């Protein structure tokens, strides 16, 4: 099936704004993060400060060394991150037992004017 373009051209992926990926150390999150980075768009990641999974420990340590550490349950922190980095797109790859932790993230998104 051939895709058709409507109303002009699509914006270049790298021109569409800052992206925040939450849950980037998880199975799906890694692929999402890689795709965002490969597209050239400015991408930030947020991971928990610790994990129960030994296989994620080295990934989390690497990300912590890059300064990407925080909690989506801390609404004030999330609002600060969203504003400070002018995040326009939020992708959450949070799953499992942490799915309900996203309520604070949702409230933070509502309180800032950067997320589209």
- Cα–Cα distances (Å) from 82 to 24, 27, 87, 104, 114, in that order, read 17, 24, 5, 13, 7
Question: Which CATH number fits the domain that encloses residue 48?
Answer: 3.40.50.720
- Summarised one tens digit per residue, pLDDT across range 14-69 is 456 899 999 887 889 889 988 998 999 888 888 766 556 666 666 556 555 544 57
Give residue 64's pLDDT: 55
47 closest CA partner among 63, 31, 34, 27: 63
What does the H/E/C string look like for 63-87?
Answer: HHHCCCECCCCCHHHHHHHHHHCCE
**Total tally of structural domains belonging to the chain:** 1
Q: Is 66 inside any structural domain?
A: yes
Q: Is 7 inside any structural domain?
A: no
Q: Is 2 inside any structural domain?
A: no
Per the CB < 8 A criterion, the answer to whether 21 and 43 are in contact is: yes
Residue 88 lies in domain: 14-111
Is pTM, for the whole model, over 0.85? no
């Amino acid at each position: 099936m051939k895709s058709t373009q409507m109303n002009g051209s699509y914006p270049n992926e790298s021109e569409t704004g800052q992206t925040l990926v939450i849950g980037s150390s998880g199975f799906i999150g890694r692929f999402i993060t890689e795709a965002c980075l490969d597209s050239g768009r400015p991408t930030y990641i947020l991971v928990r400060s610790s994990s129960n999974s030994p296989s994620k420990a080295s990934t989390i340590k690497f990300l912590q060394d890059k300064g990407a550490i925080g909690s989506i349950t801390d609404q004030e922190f999330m609002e600060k991150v969203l504003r400070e980095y002018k995040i326009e797109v939020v992708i959450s790859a949070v799953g499992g037992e942490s799915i309900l932790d996203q309520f604070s993230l949702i409230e933070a998104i509502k309180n800032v004017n950067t997320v589209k």
